[in-house]
């Protein structure tokens, strides 16, 4: 049985639809992400699950129980907010104990749980500190400990790391995944940061304009996106138009601006028919630079631009008038005008249906 089922949930503000019949099922122990640009309805959906906003249509089922009409305090859905929402006049331990007192748990159990959760987030030594004497990263850990202490059916996280600097964000996202996995927690996590979703999520629901466009595991979403929006939202890519010439032995052969390209059909969202036009997706890191001209899918290019980024160098390449981007690591310096033979392996190209970018 799913831990959370969202069935046909719709919501409008002043006649403007924000969610349009969203269905989503989260399995026990799963880290589910809602990923999409600002304003696509992620937070509204999360708040509907928490009971903070009431949907216009549809239902929310938690652990098999329809909670659609219940107030937040009758749902078991602790939430971690972007701005932490801690009590400034209470110390760290008291912040965590607060929610447990409301639940009227025995005093000893409250103390024990708060202590345990502070250990889990690495904040035990700060138990007596006032929260306004903590750094942003430490406050976020306390907010997480407070939500974990409530031992909910599902943990809700609304952009929990957006107020942290890049280094702390990387650290915390690894920790959140570790904590959730160690404790077998079910979580629904909202972010607009694709790296956060890709690195922490078991599955990601990509949202746009109040609907889920695609729901898949991170690697599948990245390598086999079902539409151009998802492909571009998850990372850099080029999208050459290509005509399918023939299909043979599990491969399709396309006529493209780079010449003929063979594409492996296994796992593609689209199985092309000969003579149809498709959009292909090529990610920069999939482009092999400076290869043997006899390699499969090899084509000549001219370097237009080269940007050194530290670990990698970003290349802008011209191939018969089409602009292709490549990402190289540990390669010699390239200069505008350099000629290279590049290739894209047949299984590193995704086939998108034509014109389906919503």
String of contacts with ligand ADP for each residue 10-49, x by CB under 6 A = ---x----x-----------------x-xxxxxxx-----
Matching residue, tokens 């099922």 = 25
With CB under 6 A as the rule, give the number of residues binding ligand ADP: 10
Q: Which residue number, 42 or 334, has a Cβ lying nearer to ligand ADP?
A: 42
Distance CA(5)–CA(18), nearest Å, equals 19
Residue 195 C-beta: closest distance to ligand ADP, Å: 17
Six-digit token string for 277 = 């036009």
Residue of 246, 242, 259, 238 whose CA lies nearest to 353: 242
Q: Which is nearer to ligand ADP, 41 or 272 (CB)?
A: 41
Query: Which stretch of DSSP H or E encloses residue 312?
Result: none
CB 50 to ligand ADP: min, Å: 13
Q: How far apart are CA 235 and CA 291, in angstroms?
A: 24
Rounded Cα distance between 207 and 200, Å, is 17
The token duo for 110 is: 């409250």
Q: How far is the CB of 222 from ligand ADP (least distance, A)?
A: 21
Residue 229 CB, nearest approach to ligand ADP (Å): 14
Q: Can you tell me the distance from the alpha carbon of 282 to that of 10, in angstroms, rounded to the nearest whole number?
A: 35
Return the biggest CA–CA distance within the chain.
Answer: 74
The answer to whether 225 and 214 are in contact (CB under 8 A) is: yes
φ, ψ of residue 234 to 5 degrees: the values are -85, -10
Smallest separation, CB 19 to ligand ADP (Å): 8
Nearer to ligand ADP, 36 or 160 (CB): 36
What is the nearest approach in angstroms of ligand ADP to the Cβ of residue 36? 6
Residue 61 CB, nearest approach to ligand ADP (Å): 21
* Closer residue to ligand ADP in complex, CB, 19/253: 19
Strand ranges of the sheet holding 259-264, from the earlier edge strand across to the other edge:
259-264, 251-256, 241-248, 277-282, 349-352
User: What are the structure tokens assigned to 293, written together?
Assistant: 């001209």
Q: Which is nearer to ligand ADP, 44 or 289 (CB)?
A: 44
17 or 257: CB nearest ligand ADP: 17
Q: What is the dihedral of CA 254, 255, 258, 261, to 10 degrees?
A: 20
Is the Cβ of residue 178 or residue 358 nearer to ligand ADP in the bound state?
Answer: 358
Provide the binding-site residues for ligand ADP, judged by CB under 6 A: 13, 18, 36, 38-44
């Amino acid at each position: 049985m799913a831990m959370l089922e969202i069935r046909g949930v719709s919501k409008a503000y002043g006649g403007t639809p924000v969610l349009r019949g969203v269905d989503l099922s989260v399995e026990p122990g799963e880290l589910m992400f809602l990923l999409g640009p600002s304003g696509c309805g992620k937070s509204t959906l999360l708040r509907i699950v928490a009971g903070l906003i009431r949907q216009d249509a549809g239902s929310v089922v938690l652990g098999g129980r329809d909670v659609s009409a219940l107030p937040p305090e009758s749902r078991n859905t602790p939430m971690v907010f972007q701005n932490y929402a801690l009590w400034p006049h209470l110390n760290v331990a008291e912040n965590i104990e607060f929610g447990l007192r409301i639940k009227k748990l025995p005093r000893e159990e409250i103390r024990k749980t708060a202590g345990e959760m502070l250990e889990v987030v690495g904040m035990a030594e700060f138990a007596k500190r006032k929260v306004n004497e903590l750094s942003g990263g430490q406050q976020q850990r306390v907010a997480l400990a407070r939500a974990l202490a409530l031992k909910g059916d599902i943990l809700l996280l609304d952009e929990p790391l957006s107020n942290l600097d890049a280094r702390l964000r990387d650290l915390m996202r690894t920790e959140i995944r570790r904590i959730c996995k160690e404790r077998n927690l079910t979580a629904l996590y909202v972010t607009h940061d694709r790296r956060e979703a890709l690195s922490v999520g078991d599955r990601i629901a990509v949202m746009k304009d109040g609907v889920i466009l695609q729901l898949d595991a991170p690697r599948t979403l990245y390598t086999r996106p079902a539409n151009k929006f998802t492909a571009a939202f998850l990372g850099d890519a080029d999208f050459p138009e290509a005509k399918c010439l023939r299909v043979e032995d599990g491969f399709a052969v396309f006529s493209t601006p780079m010449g003929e390209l063979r594409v492996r059909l296994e796992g593609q969202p689209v199985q092309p028919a000969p003579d149809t036009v498709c959009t292909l997706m090529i990610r920069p890191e999939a482009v092999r630079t400076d290869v043997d001209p006899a390699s499969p899918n090899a084509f000549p290019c001219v370097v237009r631009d080269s940007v050194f980024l530290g670990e990698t160098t970003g290349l802008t390449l011209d191939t018969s008038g089409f602009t292709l981007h490549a990402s190289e690591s540990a390669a010699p310096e390239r200069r505008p005008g350099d000629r290279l033979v590049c290739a894209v392996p047949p299984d590193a190209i995704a086939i998108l249906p034509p014109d389906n970018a919503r």
